[in-house]
Copies of this chain bind each other. A is one copy, B any other.
Amino acid sequence: MYQHKTTIRVRYGETDKMGYLYYGNYAQYFEVGRVEAMRSLGLVYAELEDRYHVMLPVASYETKYVRPARYDELLTVTTHIIEMPNKFMKFYTEIHNEKNELVNVGKVILAFVSTKGKRRGAPGFMKKIMKQHF
């Protein structure tokens, strides 16, 4: 398994009239968590698309809202890569607030697709890197 932590501060424009981080904006936080987890492994997502012509659209996403996040809170996004990527890549994410209380948990499954839109598996160099952690 591989685990990575990154922090994100809640922007004003991401709150809603309840004063909470809007429920739809967590998806971007999960995205940032995934991208930074991959970067910490030497996998730059932007290069995956631009150089290797592989995209990872989201296939499914589920999330539980445990307690609200509020404006200006510095959240810790902990991203877990829970198994070797193959046809899919699975991420399990937890978000905690500054008091270390659990705010949100989410599970996101990405598919591997060529930039022409065809389904494919994880690229070889990616598997090689990931193997060291599984």
- A residues contacting B by CB (< 8 A) are 9, 11-20, 22-28, 31-32, 35, 44-46, 49, 55, 57-65, 68, 71-72
A24 to B28, CA, bound (A): 7
In the complex, residue of chain B having the shortest beta-carbon distance to the beta carbon of A108: B23
Task: Please indicate the chain B residues that have their CB under 8 angstroms from the CB of A19 in the complex.
Answer: 17
Closest Cβ of chain B: how far from A130's Cβ, in Å? 20
A13 to B16, CA, bound (A): 6
Given contacts A16-B13, A46-B71, A62-B62, contact A24 B25 (CB under 8 A): yes
Q: Is the interface of A mostly helix, strand, loop or mixed?
A: mixed
A11 to B65, CA, bound (A): 20
Max chain B Cβ within 10 angstroms of own Cβ: one of A22, A49, A55, A59: A22
Task: Please indicate the chain B residues that have their CB under 8 angstroms from the CB of A58 in the complex.
Answer: 23, 65
Closest Cβ of chain B: how far from A55's Cβ, in Å? 6
Given contacts A11-B31, A44-B72, A72-B35, contact A57 B18 (CB under 8 A): yes
